[in-house]
Amino acid sequence: MDVDAAVFDVFGTLTDWRSSVSRELAGVGGRAGLRADWPAVTDSWRRGYHPALGRILSGEMPWIPLDDLHRLVLDEVLTAHRLDRLGEAERDELVRAWHRLRPWPDAPVGLEMLHRTRVVTASLSNGGVGLLARLTKQAGLRFDCILSAELARSYKPDPRIYRTAAELLAVEPRRLLMVACHPDDLEAAARAGLRTAYVPRPLEWGPDADPVGPPDGVDLVADDIVALAHALGASGADRPLTSGSRVSQVH
């Protein structure tokens, strides 16, 4: 596939938010003497995030940074799970858990391979610029550029996010590839004129979650970021991380 730049979703597509945030919740909760089904609390937190986003996208609520949005939903979730005892400092620490997510194992290798090609890579996440700079530095996710929905003061899947990314990178939308494991993100990118690549993350919501598939009309399906890097012209891998990693050019 011939593109000039590729932008990547981060929460889910490149990082395992569920196990990362669960672990931090278990740590903070445990130190406070609390017991809970921490992966279930994490899932509630992530599920609550989508309607909160929706209120901003509909104009019902003004734009606020993702950290503030995470805090708003966390407060509701802790009440719902009878974990109100957690104090201010602990809640702030938990919000920052989203700055420290661990990558899926193929993501650092695949992004490093892509860095060595002529394709310019960037994040395109609902996380803020500062959050993304810290997260990618710590997780070893190498990008040529950090882009965030914050730069258009909105959130994905607002079409302005994808158009702003193309404008800032100074590339035609059809020469820009959006990479994500979420069909709604890819569908919105395609409507904005971008090309799209679907990378499945069957463990995003844990081992018992319902399977997700690529959206209709996706341009490329790649097993992981290493397979994607090969599809975009990268050669070699630092180490044989994925066995039988495959890619299918759909369009």
163 is a contact residue toward its own copies (CB under 8 A):
no
Of 221, 222, 227, nearest in space to 240 by CA: 227
Do residues 183 and 214 make contact, with C-beta atoms less than 8 angstroms apart?
yes
Nearest distance in Å: CB 194, its own copies: 15
Using CB atoms within 10 Å of the CB of residue 170, give its burial: 0 to 12 exposed, 13 to 18 middle, 19+ buried.
exposed
* Angstrom distance (rounded) from CA 32 to CA 90: 9
For its own copies, which stretch binds (CB under 8 A), given 51-59, 72-80, 122-130, 196-204?
122-130
Nearest distance in Å: CB 41, its own copies: 25
* Angstrom distance (rounded) from CA 73 to CA 75: 5
Q: Tell which one of 100, 144, 242, 250 touches its own copies (CB under 8 A).
A: 144
* Angstrom distance (rounded) from CA 69 to CA 4: 33
Nearest distance in Å: CB 129, its own copies: 4
129 is a contact residue toward its own copies (CB under 8 A):
yes
134 is a contact residue toward its own copies (CB under 8 A):
yes
* Angstrom distance (rounded) from CA 92 to CA 86: 10
- Tokens 């104090």 locate to 87
For its own copies, which stretch binds (CB under 8 A), given 26-34, 48-56, 73-81, 127-135?
127-135
What's the half-sphere exposure (Cβ side, CA atoms, 13 Å) at 173? 13
Q: Tell which one of 151, 212, 237, 250 touches its own copies (CB under 8 A).
A: 151
Backbone angles phi, psi at 37, to 5 degrees: -85, 90
Q: Tell which one of 31, 50, 85, 137 touches its own copies (CB under 8 A).
A: 137
Nearest distance in Å: CB 131, its own copies: 7
179 is a contact residue toward its own copies (CB under 8 A):
no
122 is a contact residue toward its own copies (CB under 8 A):
yes
Site for its own copies in 99-118 (CB under 8 A): 115
Do residues 64 and 56 make contact, with C-beta atoms less than 8 angstroms apart?
yes
Strands (E), the chain: 5-8, 120-125, 145-148, 176-180, 195-198, 220-222, 247-249
170 is a contact residue toward its own copies (CB under 8 A):
yes
> Which residue, 57 or 145, is less far from its own copies as judged by CB?
145
> Which residue, 7 or 83, is less far from its own copies as judged by CB?
7
130 is a contact residue toward its own copies (CB under 8 A):
yes
Site residues (CB under 8 A) for its own copies?
Answer: 65, 67, 115, 120, 122, 128-134, 136-137, 144-147, 150-151, 168-171
